[in-house]
Amino acid sequence: MSADAAAVRAPAAVGRERSSSLAQVGYLAQRSITRTLRQPIMFVPSLVFPLFLLAVNSSGLSAATNLPGFPTDSYLSFALGLTFMQGALFATMGAGQSIAQDIQHGFFDRLQLTPLRSNALIAGQLAGATVQGVFQAVTYLIVALAFGAHLEAGPAGVLVLIALSAMVGLAFGSIGLTIGLRTGNGEAVQGVFPLLFVLLFLSSGALPRDLIATDWFQTVATINPVSYLIEGFRSLFITGWDGEALALAFGVSVGILAVGMWAATAALRTRMERT
Amino acid sequence: MRTDNGIEVEDLVREFKKGPRAVDGIDLTVAPGEIYGFLGPNGAGKSTTVHMLTTLLPPTAGTARVAGHDIVKEGPAVRDAIGVALQEAALDQFLTAREHMRLQAGMHGLTKADAQRRGDELIARVGLSDAADRKVGGYSGGMRRRLDLALALVHEPAILFLDEPTTGLDVQSRTALWDEVQRLASSNGVTVFLTTQYLEEADALADRVGIIDTGRIVAEGTPDALKAEIGRPTVEAAPADEADRERMRTVLSRFGAEAPAGPDGVAVRLDEGTHELAEVVRALDAENLTIANLEIHAPTLDDVFLAKTGRRLEGAGDEEAQATGEHEAVPA
């Protein structure tokens, strides 16, 4: 091949413009959502495990409703907050594993070789986690209502419930993304996942905070941000419209999202060695 | 030279923590429109070089300009000018070929209409039209490589980097990919930087070859020039009777210096070239030596590698990787 041929190489015939961050988020989100929806098996544990635990708790712990000051006579409605929170933690794993697989299989390098903006990569990757969170929330709600749970906040509460699920999925998804970017290994993400469940069990998931008799447990549950997320979900089922509980839940999820995005951005900066 | 789609590398070095220098001060120049074959065994530093030239890995020292842009200071401009197919065809098994095209084109800022047109054109060109809407998870190795190549071309790059593009492919898929690479260089004027561990690939495709071993370029030139440098062909003879091997060695040594041979034979590099062959046969016959097998070997790039490093190319990387631990450490 000669240099002459190169010299007469036609200029690029395809129309190109620098793709905006928003456009990149759109393409990456589309991929993330498509991937998520094409792996229905990924939904099985995140649907089965929380619903199984809900069934066990609501039958085994129903006597807790007899405690003086227990806020409802339906433990099923009470326990649903924990179910929604568990779902969000599964979204964490989904986001983390997805980016870790991209790193392991070289797709991350493919993206790095395009004019990719780092904020677009983070936002796009989280889209799948958010969709997973919403899908799970809708499923939990349908199953719970079918088994006699009552949503005190009514039809408008459904929208808030879904919005909160998306928000919490997004927040914990950013944590998962950070772990995935730091480790670059899907198995490592899976290994970290059970640790997040410690937060779940040291929260007000099983009992209202003021009814936890053990002092240290009550203290831990009070400083554990996950308690406020669970209480936000729970309030829609048993209280109706509790402005304080919802503000705390949305506030805490925004706080976790902010920390998660900061950590994910830092992890991405370290991971992307490109010049 | 024109540098708008050429490559200039000067004293490029890459060291990894707790490891040897994966790339140890290489210099090379690739002319616009040229196919440059970067030949070497596993662990020689080929992929690390590609990662540096494609801006995925900052060099420890040295400079390189790709398409006229500095790989450290002008990373985005370099990426804009290049198409890359890395060693593993990095595809998303849950997406179809068409979805890959849409994503790649979108990230490169192609308009929707152009993305559609270009995607269809490239998918057809690499022969994947019938499979375009199937998930990539079900593709064969050859199909994945072809899609990878098509994706690398979506934004019409001036320079194409192919890192061992045919490793693991069957002969048919390999030939099809060679044809496409040659067509890109000859018809579109695309500069191609191709790494390979296959001698025949470098021989068949490359206008010029750089041979790399343990991070250093040990030879560079056109395949013909490199082979001519080694020069003379080798004749290898095996006696019918094992006991005659020493006598055969004595006779053959009259025609040139001894060369490496198979377990049953004796080989010499013919001082006067192939036209001495008849003389060799006559000399062996005159000594009543019965020949079980006689072969003439034209010089190959493997001979060039052997002459420069003292080892054969095939299998060299495996020995080295075992001895040093896998030292071609590129990012996952």
What pLDDT score does B324 carry? 39
- Tell the burial category of A64 from Cβ atoms under 10 Å away from its Cβ (0-12, 13-18, 19+): middle
Phi, psi of B231 (to 5 degrees): 85, -85
Average pLDDT of the residues of chain A: 88
Instruction: Using CA coordinates, name the residue in chain A closest to B152.
Output: A110
What pLDDT score does B316 carry? 56
Give me B207's structure tokens: 């206008």
Q: Is residue B327 part of a domain?
A: no
Residues B191 and B270 placed together within one structural domain of the fold: no
Residues B86 and B175 placed together within one structural domain of the fold: yes
Phi, psi of B114 (to 5 degrees): -70, -35
Residues B126 and B251 placed together within one structural domain of the fold: no
Residue B52 has pLDDT above 90, yes or no: yes
Q: Is residue A24 part of a domain?
A: yes
Domain count for chain B, please give it. 2
CB of A9 within 8 Å of a chain B CB? The answer is yes
Q: Is residue A14 part of a domain?
A: no
Q: Is residue B117 part of a domain?
A: yes
Residue A40 has pLDDT above 50, yes or no: yes
What pLDDT score does B329 carry? 43
Identity of the residue in A16, A24, A112 whose CB atom sits nearest the CB atom of B56: A112
Residues B69 and B18 placed together within one structural domain of the fold: yes
- Report the distance separating Cα B205 and Cα B184, nearest Å: 12
Question: Could you give the C-alpha distances from B112 to A180, B117, B154, in angstroms and in order?
Answer: 32, 9, 13
Q: Which domain holds residue B246?
A: 232-298
- Report the distance separating Cα B104 and Cα B123, nearest Å: 13
What is the value of pTM for the model shown? Answer: 0.80
Residues B161 and B283 placed together within one structural domain of the fold: no
Q: Is residue B308 part of a domain?
A: no
What pLDDT score does B87 carry? 82
- Report the distance separating Cα B231 and Cα A210, nearest Å: 91
Query: Residue A198's closest CA among A99, A98, A85, A97?
Result: A85
Task: State the CATH number of the domain containing residue B144.
Answer: 3.40.50.300
Can you give the C-alpha Rg of chain B in angstroms?
23
Residue A11 has pLDDT above 50, yes or no: no
pLDDT, average across residues B204-224: 91
Q: Which domain holds residue A238?
A: 20-271
A75-105 and A21-37 are packed helices; what angle lies between their axes, rounded to 10 degrees? 110
Give the model's confidence band at A4: pLDDT under 50 very low, under 70 low, under 90 confident, else very high.
very low
Residues B207 and B280 placed together within one structural domain of the fold: no
Residues B153 and B29 placed together within one structural domain of the fold: yes
Q: Is residue A10 part of a domain?
A: no
CB B164 within 8 A of CB B117: no
Helix (H) or strand (E) holding B109: none
Residues B169 and B284 placed together within one structural domain of the fold: no
pLDDT, average across residues B46-62: 95
Residues B192 and B205 placed together within one structural domain of the fold: yes
- Report the distance separating Cα A56 and Cα A96, nearest Å: 29
Residues B51 and B113 placed together within one structural domain of the fold: yes
- Inter-chain contact A19–B107, Cβ cutoff 8 Å? yes
Q: What is the largest CA-CA distance in chain A?
A: 90
Classify residue B41 by its DSSP letter.
Answer: -
Give the model's confidence band at B162: pLDDT under 50 very low, under 70 low, under 90 confident, else very high.
very high
pLDDT, average across residues A110-127: 89
Instruction: Using CA coordinates, name the residue in chain B closest to A18.
Output: B109
Instruction: Using CA coordinates, name the residue in chain A closest to B5.
Output: A6
H-state helical runs in B189-235: 199-205, 223-230
Q: Is residue B238 part of a domain?
A: yes
Domain count for chain A, please give it. 1
From A261's Cα to the closest Cα of chain B, the distance in A is 22
Residues B195 and B259 placed together within one structural domain of the fold: no
Q: What is the pLDDT of residues A235-256, one digit of tens each?
A: 999 999 999 999 999 999 999 9
Residue A179 has pLDDT above 90, yes or no: yes
Q: Is residue A213 part of a domain?
A: yes
Q: Is residue B329 part of a domain?
A: no
- Report the distance separating Cα A126 and Cα A129, nearest Å: 5
Q: Is residue A166 part of a domain?
A: yes
| Residue of A2, A8, A14, A117 best to disrupt the B interface, most CBs of B under 10 A | A14
Residues B175 and B45 placed together within one structural domain of the fold: yes
Q: Is residue B207 part of a domain?
A: yes
CB of A40 within 8 Å of a chain B CB? The answer is no
What pLDDT score does B199 carry? 83
